[in-house]
Amino acid sequence: MKIGKKLILSMLAITLATMLLIYGGLYAIIADLRGNVQKLYEDIRADAEQTIEEGLYAQDSDSLGVLADMQMEVTDSRLRIVSDAVKQSAEYAERLYASPADHLNSAYAPVHLSRAPETLSARYMYSAGTRETGALRDELKLLSNMEEIFAPIMEYNSRFLDNLYVGTASGIFYQYTDNNVFRENYVVTQRHWYVNAIDSPDQIMWKETEIDSYGRPCITASKAVKGPDGKIVAVVAADVNFEQMMSNVIGSGLGETGTTFVLGSTRDLVAYSTFMEDVKAHDGLYNAFEDHFADPKTVLKKIDACAFGNGEAFHAELDGKEIYMTARTIPSTGWLLCTAINAEEITEPIGKVTAQSDQLFAAARAKTTAEFKSLILNAIITIVVIALLVALIEYFISRTISKPIIRLTDTVKNTGEGDFEKKSDIDTRDEIGDLARGFNKMQDDLKLYTENLKTVTAEKERIGAELNVATQIQADMLPRIFPAFPQKKEIDVFASMTPAKEVGGDFYDFFLLDDNRLALVIADVSGKGVPAALFMVISKTLIKNRAMQGGTPAQILADVNNQLCEGNDADMFVTCWLGICDLSTGLLTAASAGHEFPAVCGSDRNYQLLKDKHGFVLAGMEGARYRDYEIQLARGGSIFLYTDGVPEATNVNGEMFGTDRMLEALNRCSDENADVFIHAVSSAVQAFTGEAPQFDDMTMVGMTWYGKD
């Protein structure tokens, strides 16, 4: 073989070997690149799914809690209306039996059930086997006076009550209703509502859902009636309007699949969304808890943890579907209200986003794979052709192929570190350029996937917007129009409240009891957030309603305290200051339930703390007593009321604002109107705290008395 031929063969072998090494290295790099991209996508996808799922469940847990609190309050208030109606009716019946001679000449005349019209009216019948006597007719005439209390109760509470009735030990069944079904075999003293009341004569007894004598689902409250000798002579009962309860409370839920159900003391279902359909389908009650839940014992433990402890929302299986639920206690009955939503509805956004991203990535991967195969084929052809070329051409080819791949690898590494903006600048017309453009497209797809994650996150911000609505509702409950009483030139009243959270527990109120008396109220509920706001609404309503009935501040606080103590399982309490001002004399009669000392400006135009004697906080102890005291305001004198958020405001150094700085701010404008000195205190607090966050609600009320002239 000639030397030239050997040289050609040697060069060809070297070139061929070199090309094989180059393309072999390229193949390894590209294969590793494809593997890195695949792993990168899978890691991003797994982390995103976990993050979205955790966020969605946390978001729905908060929403379920707020909804459960609201539904519990609504249900409890409606059940209390029924129990109050029974209690008032029972007390009225006892007064009838205590003095029958004063009521036997009543003008009321009930109609026998067999002849009663289908309108709301009083009607009666006797138990099966009861013989009518003169004494029985007299007792019926006595009971006919019950129409005096039954009629107004049914008129104003028809949305919550179905029937009001009383059964006597002698066999009379007296009813106020629009149902005229006559039952010949009906025995009053054998009915569940009658027996329950006899067993516990001093309590309102609740009979959980049963099918009544009219064939309808029914929830009944009953109370025994005692005669003058202490013996039980009758039982008063009322039926809950079951359809209203189902449509207005049980029928509402979170999202499209949300549902609500109530568990009784025996932990059977009292009401749930498909209750009526199940009654028809099973020809009777289908309310056993174990008939609807898988692993009912475990679910009941978790429900009790939510209702009575600090348990969080949890997963369960209801009628074959996975749900996410929480629970609350209904104070008036001790029943449990549970709110749930299908888990599929919570996680539905994850599936949509994941499916979309999988589709985009699959398309990008298919395109990349096709381009990769094309690249390999072209590489083989190129090796055969380039084997005939000199080393210079081989070097040129290696430069034009290997360097773009290395740059593309760098771009992949940047993408793996989360940089989706820095794209490959390779713009060649060969397969490497196509691969780079395919990778750039995949970057855009991953960016789109990230934007979809932001959309899901925005849903959580929607919940925050709903809390802002709750803040506005709470603010609207407080009087905010100033001047408050433009027709009353003898006084000037101003107030402000700044909650620490979206909703707070502080509140204030001022209202005229009559043309010459003004009531001032300021209070601070323990705790923060939604629970404090709910307790604040109850406390404010009770105080104003009781104050309008008359009495001294001490009497008003004592009665409200007893009402708040009832069913206060959350152990919340309220500090409160209540004053009633005689507008003609400036004499202010006040009482304090553990609230901050008021600041009073007298004739010397100098504010000082009035260290009044405190009573115990409201809702802290049943039967607590409070003491009235008097403040004589001078003409042009003022009183300043506040919550602990003012003196306890803290700056970045941990120092508190204190009452001394508060009095200093007040005395700088002691001759000014109420709005001026309140704004002065607020500005002083803001200047003191600076950038420090507000940790407690800050509420202030001021009044200046000028006298009748």
Query: In this predicted model, what pLDDT tens digit does every residue of 489-504 receive, in sequence order?
Result: 999 999 999 887 766 7
Cα radius of gyration (the chain): 39
Report the alpha-carbon distance of residue 660 to residue 647 in Å, rounded: 9
Q: Which amino acid is at 5?
A: K
Q: Is the pLDDT of residue 232 over 90?
A: yes
CA atoms 196, 198, 203, 204: torsion sign: positive
Per-position DSSP letters for 530-552, written without gaps between them: HHHHHHHHHHHHHHHHHHTT---
Token pair belonging to 402: 């290997």
C-alpha distances (whole Å) from 404 to each of 205, 421, 427, 431 are 84, 19, 9, 11
Report the alpha-carbon distance of residue 54 to residue 66 in Å, rounded: 19
Q: Is the pLDDT of residue 175 over 80?
A: yes
Counted residue by residue, the chain has a size of 709
User: Picking from 273-287, 541-555, 690-704, which range would have the lowest pLDDT averaged per residue?
Assistant: 273-287
Give exposure, 278-297, as e/b (b: 16+ Cβ within 10 Å).
Answer: bbeeeeebbbebeebbeebe
Task: Identify which of 57-61, 339-343, 500-504 has the greatest average pLDDT.
Answer: 339-343
Query: In this predicted model, what pLDDT tens digit does every residue of 471-491 receive, in sequence order?
Result: 666 667 889 888 989 999 999
Query: In this predicted model, what pLDDT tens digit does every residue of 517-573 receive, in sequence order?
Result: 999 999 999 877 778 888 888 999 999 999 999 999 999 999 999 999 998 888 899
Using DSSP, state whether 236 is helix, strand or coil.
strand
Residue 491 sits at φ, ψ, to 5 deg, of -140, 160
Report which DSSP code applies to 247.
I
Helices 147-156 and 3-98, packing angle to 10 deg: 160
Q: Are 217 and 279 in contact (CB under 8 A)?
A: yes
* Strand partners of residue 656: 650
Full strand arrangement of the beta sheet holding 121-126: 111-112, 121-126, 172-177, 161-168, 232-240, 217-226, 205-211
Residue 268 sits at φ, ψ, to 5 deg, of -90, 160
Q: Are 583 and 704 in contact (CB under 8 A)?
A: no
Query: In this predicted model, what pLDDT tens digit does every residue of 65-102 receive, in sequence order?
Result: 787 788 788 888 888 888 999 999 999 999 999 998 88
Q: Are 336 and 303 in contact (CB under 8 A)?
A: yes
Residue 249's pLDDT band, with cuts at 50, 70 and 90, is: low
Q: Which CATH class is domain 479-705?
A: alpha beta
pLDDT score, position 391: 56
Full strand arrangement of the beta sheet holding 517-525: 506-514, 517-525, 574-582, 587-593, 629-632
Contacts of 563 (CB under 8 A, 6+ apart): 542, 546
Q: Are 637 and 707 in contact (CB under 8 A)?
A: no
